Structure 1
Amino acid sequence: MKANWAGVFPAVTTKLQENNDVDLLATQRSIDRLIQSGVSGIIVLPMLGENASLKLAEKEKVIRAAKEVVGGRVPLLSGLAEVSTEAAIDTARKFQSFGAEGLMVFPSIAYKSDPRETSEWYRALAGGCDLPIMIYNNPIAYGVDVTPEILRTLEDVDQIVCIKEESGDIRRVTDLYNELGDRFAVFCGVDDLILESLALGVTGWVSGMTNAWPEECVSIFELGRAGKFVEARELYRIMTPAFHLDTSVKLVQYIKLAEHLVYGAPEWTRAPRLPLAGDEREKVVSVINKTIASLRSRSSKAA
């Protein structure tokens, strides 16, 4: 399975209109903006893209619209979040027919599988479709940890090519390489651990805040990958307060608000998620506006 994924792969937010309809044009514009800013791949329908809140017909429209605007410039992946193995395989096949070129696969979203069941979940899905797979490992949110030991049982599954590492334990990156070498691409899945992860050898980043600040996030990644940590730290320290918003349970609202304030994208979300209000909104706006001001000041000094 040839899928040499590397670089910054933003987990793209699904833009919505105030009336709750999917805004395909705004979504396409945001994807084109990301690609023009230098990202290396696109992931639609991640958790950040409100995957679980969309109907299948809406997901089809999002994937097809993304395929149209990506136009082969970078790989196009889709998040896949289902309850049963049968449903996951069926959805994977549908997503491929819609134009997805790879999958970022959640564990079963309604059942906390044990290690044997987790391994079989990914093995069965790979056997039921033709797309390369990135394992989405987020035990904090989903209660299932795809450990190095579980990945060892999947070494022979060629379609499984990558793991999005989001355990929150920075030591896990080294444990993965020690256990498995370079068998799987290791992507950082936490915005406020990217520079630390690059120091330990990750080759990719599934990022949330890249939606708002793609050029800056690509710059941090490229500087870190080149070992230019002094230069990377200066920008990383400016961005980290905003990156912390990526780890909140309300990251969808927070990141959409950042996009809205940075470049005017719609911030609407689908219920049960509600627009931010009161002190919480003020605090998030303050973080975002401070980041905008700091980046503007940095740019002025550079000029």
Structure 2
Amino acid sequence: MAIWKGVFPAVTTKLKEDGCVDIDATKASIERLIENGVSGVIVLPMLGENASMEMDERKAIIRAAVETAAGRVPVLSGLAETTLERAKASAKIYQDCGAQGLMVFPSLGYKTDDRETVAWYKGIASATPLPIMIYNNPIAYGVDCTVEVLKELVDTPEIVCIKEETGDIRRVTDMYIAFGDRFSLFCGVDDLIVESSALGVTGWVSGMTNVWPAECVKLFGLCQDEKYAQARELYQVLTPSFHLDTHVKLVQYIKLAENLVYGAPEWVRAPRLPLVGDERDFVVATVTDAIEKLKTL
């Protein structure tokens, strides 16, 4: 079974102004990420507007990512559904499209209790042999894969990794105490990566890596090498931008940042709308400030 580690960007899905998927721009962004040293890519995360995509679009995005990666790094797909049967069916489809793993959301249609959460992940794991990363983001989705829940999933071999996004840094140590190295632990929020690395995470699912892949790979490497003085210097430059990854409009914020840094299309699919006014000015100022400060490092 896969052992994932390193920086795995949650890849934005590039769109045209009319809302159609821009496969060429999406492939170009994935190539840019791989060339700059990421260890894997995750297409169709929340940041990739998964829930706004039709199945034919999802299949095209996964196939394009697999073609672009060409075996250089693993390609995972987000899996976000409302019912278990749809989730199991999608898991099989994504496997057929070439995905080498799944980042599985909780049910989007209902806040499961602990027993139901266990059944959800066990059910999806039964549908395909693909390794699974649990996307644990109770702040956004209201479902928490606590240590007690994970104890019920230890015997499910397909579940290999936890994307830890509770915002409670203590959870990392609690999971290591409970499970040792049974699960790979990934930091799932950009503005906790140095803190999480100090506690032993071996991976990072990152939004702003779409914007600054080389810098984020460098930051993660400094942490892994325990060069925290250097890491903090870079982290302090990037953290105001990393805070953009924690906002409800992170899709718009990160796509605008990509546009500012390397010209990628910033278009989003409704009901999301492009940023305007003071909100846009704030993001532009935040990202522009980081661009200038990075030149001095």
TM range (shorter): over 0.9
Q: Structure 1 residue 130: deviation in Å? A: 1.5
Q: CA RMSD in A?
A: 0.5
Residues 255-298 of structure 1: CA deviation (Å, up to 9, x unaligned): 00000000000000000000000000001100000000000122
Deviation at 1:211, TM superposition (A): 0.1
Q: Distance in 2 between matches of 1:128 and 1:51?
A: 20
- Residue 34 (structure 2) aligns with: 35
1:6-45 residue pairs with structure 2 within 5 A? 6-45=5-44
Deviation of 1:12 after TM superposition, in Å, equals 0.1
- Report the counterpart of residue 252 of structure 1 in structure 2: 251
Q: Which residue of 1 aligns with 2:59?
A: 60
Aligned to 2:296, the other structure's residue is in SS state helix
Aligned-partner SS, 2:232: helix
Partner of 1:232: 231
The amino acid of 1:162's aligned partner reads C
Letter in 1 for 2:241: A
> TM-score, normalising length from structure 2?
0.99
CA distance in 2 between partners of 1:252 and 1:19 (Å): 17
**2:172 is matched with which residue?**
173
- In the alignment, the residues of structure 2 paired with residue 268 and residue 176 of structure 1 have an alpha-carbon distance, to the nearest angstrom, of 38
Which residue in 2 is equivalent to 1:88?
A: 87
The answer for the alignment partner of 1:182 in structure 2 is 181
Deviations 1:127-183 (A, max 9, x none): 111200000000000000000111111111100000000000001100111111110
Q: What's the CA shift string for 1:61-116, capped at 9, x where partnerless?
A: 10011111000000100000001111000000000001101000000011000001
Counterpart AA for 2:206: S
Q: Secondary structure at the match of 2:160?
A: strand
- Deviations along 1:28-68, whole A, 9 cap, x unmatched? 00000000000000000000000000000000110011111
| 1:70 paired to 2:106 | no
Matched with 1:126 is 125
Alignment partner of 1:114 is 2:113: yes
Q: Supply the distance in 2 between the matched residues of 1:195 and 1:222 (Cα, whole angstroms).
A: 10
**Aligned amino acid, residue 72 of structure 2:** R
Counterpart-to-counterpart distance in 2, 1:123 and 1:248: 30
User: SS at the partner of 1:8?
Assistant: strand
Looking at structure 1, the residues matched to 148 and 177 of structure 2 have their Cα atoms a distance apart, in angstroms, of 11
Q: For structure 1, which runs of at least 5 residues remain unmatched after alignment?
A: 299-303
* Equivalent in the alignment of 2:285: 286
Structure 1: how far apart are the matches of 2:124 and 2:234?
Answer: 40
Report how many aligned residue pairs link the two structures: 297
Query: C-alpha distance in 1, partners of 2:64/2:49?
Result: 16
Between the aligned partners of 2:178 and 2:3, the Cα distance in structure 1 is 20
How far off is 1:19 after superposition? 1.2
In the alignment, the residues of structure 2 paired with residue 122 and residue 220 of structure 1 have an alpha-carbon distance, to the nearest angstrom, of: 32
Unmatched segments (≥5 aa) in structure 2: none
Aligned residue for 1:295? 294
Query: 2: CA distance between counterparts of 1:179 and 1:130?
Result: 25
SS in structure 2 at match of 1:210: helix
> Runs of 4 or more off by more than 6 Å in structure 1?
none
State the 1:186 CA deviation: 0.4
Amino-acid identity (%)? 65
User: Helix, strand or coil: the match of 2:77?
Assistant: strand
Looking at structure 2, the residues matched to 250 and 293 of structure 1 have their Cα atoms a distance apart, in angstroms, of 24
